[in-house]
Amino acid sequence: MDKVVATAAEAVADVRDGASFAVGGFGLSGVPNALIEAVHARGVGGLEVVSNNCGAMDSGLAVLLAAGRIARVTGSYIGANKEFARQYLAGELEVELIPQGTLAERLRAGGAGIPAFYTPAGVGTQVAEGGLPWRYDGDGGVALASPPKEVREFDGTEYVLERGIRTDFALVRAAKGDRHGNLVFAKSARNFNPLAAMAGRVTVAEVEELVEPGEIDPDQVHVPGIFVQRVVALTPGQAADKRIEQRTVRTR
């Protein structure tokens, strides 16, 4: 099946208000910027996103965040995104912060059809006991707190139950993809992209290089096409647009 669509706008044409997204990337590496810009252009709002972070340097998910289009974020890192922190503390945004490894496994589990799993991460903290502020009231108080989770003991060790994550859509960026949706990620851009791709009911991949079926060595495929429904080939300019968050130079 040829899964290639002509433009990023066409690839997200069925996104509606309130849709949920799993979005690949870590910092500025491997972020599906073209697809995020296309979602922004649609003008939809009330979105729920699952991503390690919520963009940086006015790129990635920061575009949707600044426009007030995101209602809820599930992630593990606020970082240097001042607008993210401002909206969270002002009560404008609901945020579920979870351990980074747990986030990765929740995405993988959801994509693998595993509804929940036990992990030791977070036992004895508010992650398990509840009370983490999901939404503030704007005056320093907590309007909505996380609920307690089930804790069980296995072989003398306590573990907390975490739910797998499934979303309406997933947006990912790959270095190479074929028309059947098989994807290959480059180095650190692999990060959360394979996990996000698995978690989406409709997964859309923007690819820097589009190749024909059979041109990718099966042993090199990071995400098989069964997880991907749509593929968008980036223009040379889009493929080359790779920003650096902290640029370091040295004098001769």
Give me the count of residues in the chain.
252
pLDDT in tens, 182-203: 999 999 999 999 999 999 999 9
pLDDT in tens, 118-152: 999 999 999 999 999 999 998 989 999 999 999 99
- Residue 178 — pLDDT band, cuts 50, 70, 90? very high
pLDDT in tens, 81-122: 889 999 999 999 999 999 999 999 999 999 999 999 999 999
Can you list the domains of the chain with their CATH numbers? 8-115+164-240 (3.40.1080.10)
28 pLDDT higher than 90: no
pTM over the 0.85 mark: yes
Sequence-distant (6+) residues with CB within 8 A of 206 are: 8, 32, 34, 35, 171, 172, 173, 174, 232, 233, 234, 238
- Neighbouring-strand partners of residue 22: 50, 170
